[in-house]
Chain A
Amino acid sequence: MSVTALKPREVPTAPSAGQVLPLPVVARPKLRLAGLGRLLAERVAPPVVVMTLLLVIWQVAFSGGGSGLPAPTDVWEQSRELILDPFFVYGSQDIGLGWRVLTSLERVAYGFGLAAVVGVLVGAVLGQSALMMRGFDPIFQVLRTVPPLAWLPISLAAFMDSRPSAIFVIFITAIWPIIINTAAGVRAIPQDYRNVAAVLRLNQIEFFWKIMVPSAAPYIFSGLRIGVGLSWLAIVAAEMLTGGVGIGFFIWDAWNSSRLTDIIVALVYIGVTGFILDRLVGWIGRVVSRGTAE
């Protein structure tokens, strides 16, 4: 992570005019290695430096005896096991954070999966009809601003059980951006593609799979990406109230038994998982909608 590596590579001196020189093909493998070094220096070094710096500041600020929050070294000393072994099982309620994240992810998978299917279908139907869109849009715009947890009491009342309630909260939180984006994507299908479909007499189902989904894919996936982020926000909050073995409940439980360092480890887990989810959906979207934009 040396600073000198950031210096631009020296540009070879230009050959004098009129001289015919072969292209430097031989230098290729060397270049690739240098490129890797540069990539490390440009992409990996800055976040590592910043993180180290923040950890040092945190350490200095909270290492005194009177501070209410633990310093990084306290976290390491008291919660080492949680950090080092995400998949231990000591009892039905005493399991590693990896397992807890997986339990939460399972709920997200149900809720978000349902939201994705329903959202894309509803969005596709609404996007086809300007009239329906005008009718439903205000309702969506209002409902989508309702915070996830505000849905919880109503879904508890409806389902009388915490598990489906948590899944419903995820569903209802994630579905709005998916519907709204899909509808926007469908409305943005160029008239040319519609004409092609009309000349070929594609039926509704063929039109959906062959024209609508590929054409609206970038929109659909930006909706899914927002949706998956919201799902993850919602599950952690919902689990705090509904209990179970998820990562959200773990935080609540740790707070009740004053294990602050465990909370900090759990926060990192949640953040990293959310980040991975976001990138995963983004990556799938890029693969699927490859070629949609010319």
Chain B
Amino acid sequence: MDQSYLKIDRVFKSFSKGAKTTEVLADIRLTIDKGEFVSIIGHSGCGKSTLLNLVAGLTDVTTGAIKLEGREVNAPGPDRAVVFQNHSLLPWLSVYDNVKLAVTKVFGATKTKAERHDWIMQNLDLVQMTHAADKRPGEISGGMRQRVGIARALAMEPKILLLDEPFGALDALTRAHLQDAVMDIHARLKNTMIMITHDVDEAVLLADRIVMMTNGPAASIGEVLPVAIPRPRDRIALASHPDYVRAREAVLRFLYERHRFVEAAE
């Protein structure tokens, strides 16, 4: 039964602050195959970022287990690289050095200096950022920073790439460019990706499966929708594709009919 690549098994997560305990996630069960692209969508505050942090190992599960290739996840590590919502590049390092920090740490023992340099440039090339290698994060645009964040994560050669609303803060055009870049990378490297999003189009366009989360507290997985649209996907051709329209409608129905977000529910 341990054939699955990533297995999230009956995970509960609660935070306690003083005497008060809030249950954030309840009974999350999900298995993800190698090379699969999974989008997790839900209203804000539903705990989807918490779920990603659990997989990343940045926070601990309360009960249940998360297993990657049969081995339990209980600490962060470069095999589960994270692309953070706000890029999280170190502002005092150049673009090159930001990626280098990760590469030196992960491949310091196995690759020579020249190989590491090539690997850094290769990953910057993957996100088309070689031209800005010597710039600092403060000198490049938000979209470029996010590209570098992706390059840094990819450079760790992770088993699974976790993207935490990576394009949430970007304008629509930049976002579309980056979505194409991510699709391209996924097609080339065939890596496993989990992406948190609150954008329905983004979820449908990128994902093999869309995991829809119910509202918190004690959020759980409401529905899982496979998206069987063949790749490579083209956003313009897709706009009128019946499968795309159906998938989009299904997600919208879930989010706005069955699990309407109630502001200030507490």
Which residues of A come within 8 Å of B, CB atoms?
192-193, 195-196, 198-202, 206, 210-211, 214-215, 217, 289-294
Contact = CB atoms under 8 A, between A and B. Distances in A.
Given A210-B101, A294-B137, A198 B90 contact: no
13 contacts: A193-B88, A195-B82, A199-B56, A199-B58, A200-B102, A202-B105, A210-B90, A291-B91, A291-B92, A291-B136, A293-B91, A294-B91, A294-B138
Contacts of B92: 214-215, 217, 289-292
A289 to B, nearest CB: 8
Nearest to B164: A195
Contacts of A206: 105
B24 interface: no
Interface string B76-116: 11101110101010111100000001100110000000000
Contacts of B86: 192
Contacts of B58: 195, 198-199
A189 to B, nearest CB: 11
Interface residues of B, number: 24
A201 B75 CA distance: 9
Given A195-B76, A198-B76, A294-B138, 18 more contacts: A193-B90, A198-B57, A198-B58, A199-B58, A199-B80, A200-B78, A200-B101, A201-B76, A206-B105, A217-B92, A289-B92, A291-B91, A291-B136, A292-B91, A292-B92, A293-B91, A294-B91, A294-B137
B76 A192 contact: no
A199 B91 contact: no
A201 B93 CA distance: 18
Nearest to A214: B92
A198 to B, nearest CB: 4
A193 to B, nearest CB: 7
Contacts of B137: 294
A289 B92 CA distance: 8
Interface of B: 56-58, 76-78, 80-82, 84, 86, 88, 90-93, 101-102, 105-106, 136-138, 156
B110 to A, nearest CB: 15
Contacts of B88: 192-193, 195-196
Q: Which 7 A-B pairs have the closest CB atoms?
A: A192-B88, A291-B92, A198-B76, A294-B138, A214-B92, A294-B91, A200-B105
A73 B137 CA distance: 57
Given A200-B101, A210-B101, A293-B91, A195 B84 contact: yes
B92 to A, nearest CB: 4
Given A192-B86, A195-B58, A201-B105, A291 B77 contact: no
Nearest to B85: A192
Give the residue among A200, A290, A294 with the most B Cβ atoms within 10 A. Answer: A200
Contacts of A196: 84, 88, 90
B91 A211 contact: no
Contact of A199 (B81, B90, B93, B136): B81
A46 to B, nearest CB: 34
A196 B90 CA distance: 9
B153 to A, nearest CB: 8
Contacts of A215: 90, 92
A217 B101 CA distance: 19
A236 to B, nearest CB: 36
Give the residue among A196, A201, A210, A211 with the most B Cβ atoms within 10 A. Answer: A196
Contacts of A199: 56, 58, 76-78, 80-82, 156
A202 B84 CA distance: 17
A224 B80 CA distance: 39
A232 B82 CA distance: 48
A196 B86 CA distance: 12
Give the residue among B57, B91, B106, B137 with the most A Cβ atoms within 10 A. Answer: B91
A193 B93 CA distance: 12
A293 B136 CA distance: 11
Contacts of A211: 90
A202 B105 CA distance: 8
B77 A214 contact: no
B132 to A, nearest CB: 15
Nearest to A190: B88
A291 B56 CA distance: 28
B98 to A, nearest CB: 9
